[in-house]
Amino acid sequence: MSPILKLVVQRLALGVLLLLAASVLIFVGTEILPGDVASAILGQGATEQALANLRIELGLNDPPVTRYFNWLFGVLQGDLGVSLSNRRDIAEAMSVRLSNTLFLAFWAAIIAVPLAILLGLVAVRYEGRWPDKVVSGATLATISIPEFLLGYIAMYFLAVQYRIFPSVANINASMSLGDKLNAIALPVLVLVLVVLGHMMRMTRAAILNVMQSAYVETAELKGLRSFTIIWRHAFPNAIAPVVNVVMINLAYLVVGVVVVEVVFVYPGMGQYLVDHVAKRDIPVVQACGLVFAAVYIGLNLVADIVSILANPRLRHPK
């Protein structure tokens, strides 16, 4: 087996183990929550017999280990269970919500990733001068402000004061692409501001680290333009840490959008999770947690594999 293939297989195996460990943590975390699921479903006026029958129906009387493996085997077969609050199939209901979240994350990433790399290159080109200070200060400010506050500020100015975009990001399958983009403009803006600073600053730091190399000094002595040196010589060799931070932020766009979706009442995975947490719908919470963990681990695996392929030192660690 070639060294590259061996490293890729090792990363994939580690990802599977991490996902298995995450499933255990998700199941245990939902099981130790206070309260009784049967009482939450039937209400305080339920009789003891009704509660006992529902616990048997839901399998709540089985040992936790048995319930975990039943749940895990069902997930492996594509069965995420049935919602306790409305008796709908979770996989069917989640597919629409997940597609909405991916749609939101896609457009945020389309804007944020190229813009962050471009601003990072500009900050390196004008290091220590006013463009670098302006870009670094602005991105630091967006990182420091919580996303829910950014959401309310954007909503106040762009939806209430000037009525440019709608304050509620409600989309459905019957809407055209233009209508959908108009509806998600504010949550996309907030997500871009949240992830832009981290990606830009990491891009800047990675390129500045490479700029200290001897081959960059040689290129400077040859009289090459500064931006040419940065783009053609420094940036390709700084791609590994840049890819890592981009993938982490892409994972955030899918996994960490709960607050943004709740602020703008967006029908995505985050809003779906919050709605069913309030109803103590444990199967839905477990399914959402597992999907979020799979997305996060999967994108980090992609970042590791791209870093291995892009960096010869990682392919040949000896």
Residue that is written with structure tokens 């700084």 in the block: 238
Q: In tens digits, what is the pLDDT along the chain, a chain of 318 residues?
A: 677 778 778 888 999 999 999 999 999 888 777 766 677 667 666 777 877 887 777 777 778 888 888 888 988 888 888 887 777 889 888 999 999 999 999 999 999 999 999 999 899 889 889 999 999 999 889 888 999 999 999 999 999 999 999 999 989 888 999 999 999 999 999 999 999 988 998 889 888 888 888 888 888 888 888 878 888 878 877 877 888 888 888 888 888 888 999 999 999 998 999 888 877 788 899 999 999 999 989 988 888 887 777 666 666 655
User: How many beta carbons lie within 10 A of that of residue 251, not counting itself?
Assistant: 20
Give the per-residue pLDDT at 279: 76
Give the per-residue pLDDT at 316: 61
Give the per-residue pLDDT at 206: 86
Domain 90-296 class in CATH: mainly alpha
Q: What are the phi and psi torsion angles at 89 (to 5°)? A: -65, 130
Give the per-residue pLDDT at 112: 94
Contact 182, 147 (CB under 8 A): no
Measured between alpha carbons, how far is 96 from 94 in angstroms, rounded to an integer?
5
Give the per-residue pLDDT at 191: 94
Residue boundaries of the structural domains of the chain:
90-296
Nearest to 251, CA basis, from 200, 193, 202, 292: 292
Residue that is written with structure tokens 């017999």 in the block: 49
Give the per-residue pLDDT at 230: 82
Give the per-residue pLDDT at 313: 62
Measured between alpha carbons, how far is 78 from 281 in angstroms, rounded to an integer?
19
User: How many beta carbons lie within 10 A of that of residue 213, not counting itself?
Assistant: 13
